[in-house]
Chain A
Amino acid sequence: MTVPIVDLSANAAATLSPYTLFMQADIVVKVVMAGLLLASIWTWAIIIGFGFSLSGIRRKCLKFEQEFWRTDDIDRFFENRGKENLPSARVLQAGITEWRRSTKQKVVDREGARDRISTALSSAVGGEVDLLSDRLNILATVGAVAPFVGLFGTVWGIMRSFTAIAAQQNSSLAVVAPGIAEALFATAIGLFAAIPAVIAYNRFSHAINKVESGLNRFADTFYATLSRELEHS
């Protein structure tokens, strides 16, 4: 009578090593894991890249606006720095372009010019905010969906381990545990991708709100200045 000894070396793979867990998993769970990993990489690429650029934009806009208010000659300032790749610069550009168009004619329709300038400024601000919050869309999607995708992988994996139990007629932990471990690993990756995405989404939307309000303030003040200029002209 020979007694089969449980191969402990195979069970040693039941450690938490992501590679072994991934390699043991079912093809569906593998696809889920790979997709979630890509989502996580994408999320972090956005967090790092966009985080840097957003803070840079905020800093530069603040500086740009301060310098704009300090200058005496708006036209010269616009000639020098109006082409900068900044939301504030583009808002400024939109306002000045509209101003120049409206005041080109001999007879200036003041009310109409004010309306047009106001509209141009607000639409420029809206465009800039849209541009900035383009990335937030991805973060929001990952943050909302990744846990569900991970959960799907887990459910699938656990279904599979239950099938294994049924096939082997054996409910010992050695049969069940590896399947459940790899299944839960899918949820772990899902949360791993989703948590930073949700945090980043909240922080970035807050930051973009601040940028937007800053731009609005700048646009309003600039509109007030132009409106004043209109009366004088």
Chain B
Amino acid sequence: MERADKIGLGIASAAHVLLFAALSSSWVTPKKITLDTKPIEVSIADAVALQSMAPKLSPEPPPPTPGEVEGPPEQAAPAPAESVAQPEPQPAPPPPPAPTPRPKPVEQPAPKPTPKPVPKKPEPAKPKPAPKAPAKPDTKKPEPARTQAKAPAKPAATPSNAKTASTATAADKGQAARSSGSKLKLDTSDWMKSASRSTSPASKPSEGATAAALGPAQKSALDAEIRRQLKPHWKAPTGADVESLRTIVNVKLARDGSVVGAPEIVDTLGVTASNRTQVRLHQEQAVKAIRLAAPFNLPAQFYSSWQFLQLTFDKRLSQ
């Protein structure tokens, strides 16, 4: 090898290394995509996003949980859960009869009415006393109400006569067993019905205030109810890859359940090359489903929770 060859080899090697480094560094090549934050796993929650209850939930959860543990599902839970006798006390009326009650006939009617209202409308029962007695928002109320009620109820029952008490409890138990035995789904719908039925008279006085308390169970029940009402009207377009489409629509509802204005299409997710042509149809069908389902039958006392709905239309909804 001659000197010129050695020089040439040195220069060539150095130039290649330089070129390689230059191309590898970012100023020649297009800018890399740099993510400031690491990608995170996203879990998609259930379709309907109700108004967030996060701050208000904290006082509320304790009551529902004991109820749920035992079996009777829901919302009104605190009362029916423990011993069905308690809710009766809630309405203040029973105590007054208690003191008077030496006469038997008086006693008997007292327990009787009590069990009935309990299972029937646990929900309204709570709000009702609220404005009356403490005049405070209902959240706080259940606890004192229960304890208060417990105290008077027991003395009343024990002295008066074991018979009435036992009959009452037996009846209550039957009720309780029934409600607890039933499936969650039935329960929710039951509650939905009762709630919507009962609220019409009850909620009117306390319209605004009552909506506040919406536990997770209520939320899911409400969610399920909305889905149930939408489902028969939702017809997804057919075609390749259409299953992956998810159209998100924002809706504003009036108090009577009708749609205010036009549903607003937020976005359609899951668009691929093969289903791109179906996106418009998917969105139109979603809006159509809302319009057809229009007067939604939802509990009025939770109006603030379903006033603004974000609905997701996808394959799951039609199943």
Contacts and interface: CB of A to CB of B under 8 A. Distances in A.
A167 interface: no
B34 interface: yes
Contact of A37 (B2, B16, B31): B16
Contacts of B26: 17
Contacts of B43: 1-3
Given A1-B43, A5-B39, A18 B20 contact: yes
Interface stretch (B3-11, B57-65, B281-289): B3-11
B162 interface: no
Nearest to A11: B33
A7 B20 CA distance: 27
A1 B46 CA distance: 9
Interface string B22-59: 01101001111111001111111000000000000000
A48 B8 CA distance: 5
A44 B42 contact: no
B42 A47 contact: no
A44 B12 CA distance: 5
A56 B3 CA distance: 13
A18 B24 contact: yes
Contacts of B9: 41-42, 45, 49
Nearest to A192: B19
B13 interface: yes
Contacts of A6: 39
Contacts of B11: 44-45, 48
A156 interface: no
Interface in A1-42: 1-9, 11-12, 15-20, 37, 40-42
B292 interface: no
Given A41-B16, A44-B15, A8 B39 contact: yes
Q: A interface, how many residues as a size bin?
A: 20 to 34
A53 interface: yes
Nearest to B16: A41
Contact of A45 (B5, B30, B31, B32): B5
A46 B1 CA distance: 11
A42 B1 CA distance: 13
A12 B32 CA distance: 6
B5 A12 contact: no
Contacts of B13: 41, 45
A78 interface: no
Contact of A3 (B6, B15, B16, B42): B42
A53 B3 CA distance: 9
Interface SS of chain A: helix
Contacts, number: 93
A53 B4 contact: yes
A15 B29 contact: yes
A2 to B, nearest CB: 5
B23 A17 contact: yes
Nearest to A57: B4
Nearest to B29: A16
A52 B31 CA distance: 39
A78 to B, nearest CB: 25
B307 to A, nearest CB: 27
Quick one: which of A5, A7, A18 has the most chain B CB within 10 A? A18
Nearest to A2: B43
Contacts of B38: 9
A44 B40 contact: no
A48 B35 CA distance: 44
A47 B8 contact: yes
Contacts of B44: 1-3
Given A2-B42, A15-B29, A52 B24 contact: no
A176 to B, nearest CB: 14
B16 A50 contact: no
B35 A8 contact: yes
A48 B12 contact: yes
17 contacts: A2-B43, A3-B44, A6-B39, A8-B39, A15-B30, A15-B32, A17-B29, A20-B24, A44-B8, A44-B16, A48-B12, A50-B4, A50-B8, A51-B8, A52-B4, A53-B2, A53-B4
Given A1-B44, A5-B40, A45-B12, 13 more contacts: A8-B33, A9-B38, A16-B23, A17-B24, A17-B29, A37-B16, A44-B12, A48-B8, A49-B2, A49-B5, A50-B4, A53-B4, A53-B5
Interface of B: 2, 4-9, 11-13, 15-16, 20, 23-24, 26, 29-35, 38-44
Please provide the 8 A-B residue pairs with the shortest distance between their CB atoms, ordered closest to farther.
A49-B8, A44-B12, A48-B8, A45-B9, A53-B4, A49-B5, A45-B12, A19-B24
